[in-house]
Chains A and B, each alone.
Chain A
Amino acid sequence: MEQVVFFYFALVIAAASVLVVALRNPIYSALALLIMFFHVAGLYVTLHAEFLAAVQIIVYAGAILVLYLFVVMLLNLRQDDRYHRQWPMAGIVGATLVIEAIILTVMKGWTSPVVATGTETTVGATTNAGAIGDVLYSTYLFPFEVASLILLVAMIGAIMLAKKDIGEC
């Protein structure tokens, strides 16, 4: 049962990702991306990472992709504008990645499966949201704060860019 669910999600993720770059209409591409986000969230749910799944949908599907759609509709992009004949390059890179993936899969088949080594942090919280909070504010406090600092810098940069335009007008 879990195998079936996993392969369904994996298949749809792969197919939707291909459609994102292959479709001609940017709106359809965005919708394919939306389908992909949902199935990635589904994959998280099968891993019992419900918090991650919900955040995936709220942040990516609910905020970022809506802004993408917003821009695409406002600019009213013509369908062929964004294509610069990148297929040969994409083919080379894609083929390399596929060969790598096959090699890695085959090699992984020969090694014994990874067992828990005890290095994972054991957390006391009962829900996975609580567990993420515990770990984020204790073990990974420094990376977490650095990430928030980077976001703050990006935010200030955006405000500066927007403000400059108004001043010059």
Chain B
Amino acid sequence: MTELSLRLAVSFAQILAEMSIVMITVATLTYFERKVLGWMQDRMGPMEVGPYGLLQPVADGIKLFFKEDIVPAGANKAMFALAPMLTMVVSMIGFAVIPFGPNLTLDIYGMTIKPFVVADINIGILYILAIASIGAYGIILGGWASNSKYSLLGGLRAAAQVISYELNVGLALVGVLMLAGTMSLVEITEAQSGGFWHWFIWGGRPDGFFPIHTQIFAFVVFVISAVAETNRIPFDLPEAESELVAGFFTEYSGMRFAFFVSAEYANMMLVSCVASALFLGGWNAPYPGTIFEYVGLEQLAWIEHIVWFAAKVYFFLFMFIWIRATLPRLRYDQLMRFGWKVMLPIALANIIVTSFTLYFFPR
């Protein structure tokens, strides 16, 4: 029984650490997004609270925390309260299978733990897809329970959009799964070690240079679908301001509103983590090995790995904001046509081409 309780304690500590990392990153992202948007539009961004507006996330948090919690008169109270919680929880638990650092193992009292991943399960990718598909429930329920036409329309749009684009996300990942031969994110990342050309976006083989197994098409499909699945501009039809006020969270205020917004940022972070781990080598550096190893500090190599992982994730997060500052919103029929008639065939063709190249040129 002591082993069980120790295991529980370790898992709890890992979950706590992971959640604090995610929440801190979400808070940073709100600042980062406003600042980057400001610079791209030739403005300063937030400047008032703290030096260079650095304390703006704290101020926002306090403001949202003390706001009045308004429940619309005709709303379904239980569902209205459930929806933001569901969205938030779903956006947080996906991080359980993300490897933030190298696949080290620590031995504590004869118990093996992996410090940089909470749960290395053998169906990691499927777990993430399952979690992502549950994310639609919070949005639909929130839209329905608000008893408002704008909310309901936003929720229904979100449902259609998430289902359509989730298909593309799943199909885009199949090529990577075939290359790696496993569904565990830790093992997929390890299969990409050995430098830039071994990342699955290029898919170079250890013996040859020519990247015949390249997954760059799957990568593009995945990134575009990920933007759509997180309801970001240019795919933010569920919350299109000019048509639906604020879409599914029109009626939400205070902390419940904050839950929806932070869930959106956490989802952005999750898809960024998945994209880095699957296509850009995760915590692998673009050169073979690590610099710390060359200078003889093997035990500190994990710092370098984590820095590379964070750099890749932040590259994607910056890209999300960059896209937001650049592109106008799609029309609804354009969104659906693009998803089903452009992205889906590309993803399917990628699977066929990858299986042929793998058959004739096995790794």
Contacts and interface: CB of A to CB of B under 8 A. Distances in A.
B133 A61 contact: yes
B130 A73 contact: no
B129 A58 contact: yes
Mostly helix, strand, loop or mixed at chain A's interface?
helix
Contacts of B170: 58
Interface string A117-140: 000000000011100000000000
Interface in B115-135: 121-123, 126-127, 129-130, 132-134
A101 interface: no
Interface stretch (A63-71, A80-88, A91-99, A147-155): A63-71
Given A69-B140, A73-B140, A57 B123 contact: no
Contacts of B253: none
A19 interface: no
B133 A62 contact: yes
Nearest to B130: A57
B237 to A, nearest CB: 15
Contacts of B159: 66, 69-70
B134 A57 contact: yes
A114 interface: no
Contacts of B144: 27, 69, 73
B342 interface: no
A63 B123 contact: no
B25 interface: no
Contacts of A55: 126
A54 B130 contact: yes
Nearest to B187: A127
Interface of B: 79, 121-123, 126-127, 129-130, 132-134, 136-137, 140-141, 144, 152, 155-156, 159-160, 162-163, 166, 170, 182-183
25 contacts: A31-B141, A34-B137, A51-B123, A54-B129, A57-B133, A57-B134, A58-B126, A58-B130, A58-B170, A61-B130, A62-B129, A62-B130, A62-B133, A62-B166, A66-B140, A66-B162, A67-B163, A69-B159, A70-B156, A73-B144, A73-B156, A74-B156, A127-B122, A127-B123, A128-B122
Interface of A: 27, 31, 34, 50-51, 53-55, 57-58, 61-63, 66-67, 69-70, 73-74, 127-129
Q: What are the 4 closest A-B residue pairs judged by CB atoms, nearest first?
A: A62-B133, A54-B126, A57-B130, A127-B122
